[in-house]
Structures are given as C-alpha cells and as structure tokens.
Amino acid sequence: MQLRKTPNNIFVKLLLGFWLCSSLIIALIGLLPLMQQNHDQSAIPEPLERLLAKSAKRISQNPQILDSDKLKHWSRFKEFKGRPARIYLVDEYGKVLNSHKSSRSLRRFMLLADEAGEPIKHQFRDELIFGPYNFTANGKNYSLFGRLPEHHPRPWFFFFIDNKLLTLSIAILLSGLLCGLFAWHLGKPLRSLKRSADALADGDLSSRVDMATVKRNDEIGQLAQAFNGMADSVEDMVKSQQRLISDISHELRTPLTRLKLSLALSRKKGHATPETERIEYEADQLEQMIAELLELSRVKLNANDNKPSLELAETLSQVLDDAEFEAQQQQKQLHIDIDESIILPLYPRPLCRAVENLLRNAIRYAESQVSIQAIKLADSVQIEIIDDGPGIENETDLEAIFKPFYRPQTARERESGGWGLGLAIAKAAIQAHQGKIVANNNLTTGLKITISLPLV
C-alpha cells in the first residue's frame, strides 16, 4: 500500500493541534490588555484640548496666579458641556500645585501620558482624564490635566482583566477542553480498532474496523486498512483449515465404511475371532471421532450465518429430556431451572450440541447431583451447569480443557476421557454466538461451567 504524500499524519495533527490550542489560549489572554488599552486610551479630542488651552492661556496672561497664595483661590473647576471639569496644574517635577492630594487615577494617568509622549485621554471606571497641555509661564514649564466625571459601560471581556485568577482558571479549563476534544478525536478510531482486535481474538473472524476509521487519511486509517487486510487473510486461512479437516474427515469415512463392511462379511462367513472383534471396536471408535471432527468443522464454518430469535427452553427441550433420562439411568438427579420467557438469537443445532456435551460430561463425573439454570441479565443470558463431582485439581486445566484433543490427566483413560473434542465443540458453538464459556471449580465440590450468550 502506497503511503499518501499529503502531510496528514499523526505527527502533524499532534503538532498543529496542541500548538494551535496553546497559541489560541495565549493569544486570547495576551490580547485582553491590548483591547483594554485601545478601548480606554486614545488621542485627546479637540474640545478637551481647547479647554486645557484656555486655562493655560489664562495662567500665562496672569502669571501672578502661580503665587502660592493666589493659586489656592484659582478656580480649578470649569464647565464642559454642562458637566463640571476639574483642572490640575502640574509643575515640571510632576507635582500637582493646586491640590493637596492627587488621586491614584491621576498619578496613573500621568505615567500613561508620559509613556505615550503626546496628549491623550483615558477612560477609567467612573471618570475620564485627559492631558497634558504643556505651556510656559515665568520661564518655567507647566502642564495641565483635566478630569470629567463620566461613566461608560465597559465591554464584558474587561471582567477577565479585573479577575486574573478566574481568567487563569478559565484558560486552563478551556485548554483542557480543547485538548480533550482533540484527544477524543484521535482516540475514537483507536478504540474501534481495539474492539475489532478483541473480537477477532475471541474468535469472531468477521470482525472488521468500521469504514469511517478506514477512510481516515492518516496513520490510523492506514493501520485500520492493514488490520482489515490481516483479518481477511486470517479468516481465509482458518476457514481453509476447517474445510481441509472437514474434507479429510469425509474422505476417511469411505475406507472406514469399507473396513466395517469387510468385517461384517467376515463375521457372516464364520471367521469371527477376538482380533476381528477388536478391529470392529476400534473402527467404531474411529467413526465416532471422525463424526466429532466433522461437527467441530461444521460449527466453525457456519459461525457467520444469521441467528433467529428463539425460546431457549424450547430449543433445549429435547437435549434436556435426553440428559434427564441418562441421569436417571445412572441413579443421578438433574435439576433444570430455565425460564420459558427467555428469548435470544441463537443457532439451534450448535447450541444444543454444546449443552448436550456439557451435560453428558457433568453427568459422567457427578456423584449424585447435576444442575442447569439460565439467568437473564441486562445484555446477556448466563447458563450455568454445575455437578458435584471431583472437579479439576490443576487450575491450568480449567482453560485447557476447551482445546481440541486435550484431556486432563485424570481423564486419560479412553473409556472415561474420550478424545477431548466434546468441550472443544462446545466452545466453538458458544464463540459462534459471540459468547463466552469458562470453567471453574465449585466452592464446595465439583465443576461449574458458565456460558454467557449476548442478547443482540
């Protein structure tokens, strides 16, 4: 598969995503002071400049006003469009001459005006301060500043400037939200890929990654395409193997049938001997094993057929009747607890064969009691088969007993242990339902087999 040449890969997405996210947050916070400055501070309007010029002209024409005694009586208040304007006289050292105490706003504005290097106005919360107007009187330099009581509603974003801790908290929260959305965008296809991989590992060979993930133009999309290609190959290989086993089993039946026919003809001619009896017995055993292999292959090959929704109790009725009869013949009791209202999608023949194998195995090893019950949960049906037999001593055998041709050490004898295909067939049938089967030693004695079948 040829890689795309466009720079649409995980590295670029991670770099651009986190870089843009952090840059956006930094830019928004950094622009707040600039936006405040542009809103509050601007060049001094001409009417306000004329007001200061008029006051400066008066002082220049009457320099005696600068006398400390007369300065106290100099009117600092002027009328500007019907509002009182307060005028401040400042010497070249920055000292306010006509006021005993200058306000904090005025001192702050004087610093702003000094930085600006030209006459400006600045809107504070409840007042407008403007200036300076520089002039000379008696050979000394002076400046005039004005103040108007004026309240302007401030834009809503200025709230963040006044509450820096809250602004920092919101910035962290917003950054986390953006990064979380970006991480979710990257993690969603990975979760889809993980679900498909888990389903494939559990035996669902039809599991594939969804097309939305496959069509992505990055490494995740390429990985999804590679995964689906691998899954196709695995499914073809497994099905080919199952078909081969099925074909071989079918082919073995032909010479086996001829062998049994020859033994029957030999017995009919009076040539029966202990050796021919042994040959017939082994031929019967071989036929049963071939039948088990054919059943195992059939279950795995038909695992992708549509499942009809059926009643569990009705589907298992014949199996349960046969198991109850077999238990009675061995002087054992079989307790059945399956609600007739339980309905779920299932394959009737494979499920019946699985439950039949499990029940026969439980009845064989039970001392006197075997029970089967079905419990309907929120999203699955749980079937439990419990016996009061010896159980399995080795814990590692609890998982291995479902492998083909595997028999625990205690079941190595052919008469009791079979060929190790019954539980393998049961597991294959349950996996065909996308279900799970596990074995555990019971709390007191015996073995408990738990089957979980999905409701959808």
User: For residues 417 and 411, what is the distance between their CA atoms, to the nearest angstrom?
Assistant: 4
Q: Among candidates 93, 99, 94, which has minimal Cα distance to 76?
A: 99
Output the six-digit token pair for 368: 């006197």
Query: What residues contact 77, with CB distance under 8 A and at least 6 apart?
Result: 84, 85, 86, 87
List, as one string, the DSSP characters of 290-326. Answer: HHHHHHHHHHHHTTTSPPPEEEHHHHTHHHHHHHHHH
For residue 118, give Cα distances in angstroms to 96, 115, 133, 170.
Answer: 19, 8, 9, 37
User: For residues 62 and 64, what is the distance between their CA atoms, to the nearest angstrom?
Assistant: 5
Q: Among candidates 124, 126, 58, 63, which has minimal Cα distance to 87?
A: 58
Contact present, 127 and 149 (Cβ < 8 Å): yes
Element (H, E) at 80: strand 77-80
Query: What residues contact 446, with CB distance under 8 A and at least 6 apart?
Result: 366, 367, 386, 387, 388, 389, 390, 391
Tell me phi and psi for residue 124, to 5 degrees.
-90, -175
Catalytic residue among 152, 250, 271, 335: 250
Q: How do 83-91 and 77-80 pair as beta strands? A: antiparallel
Whether 100 is catalytic: no
Q: Among candidates 99, 207, 214, which has minimal Cα distance to 145?
A: 99
Q: How do 333-337 and 369-376 pair as beta strands? A: parallel
Residues serving a catalytic function are 250
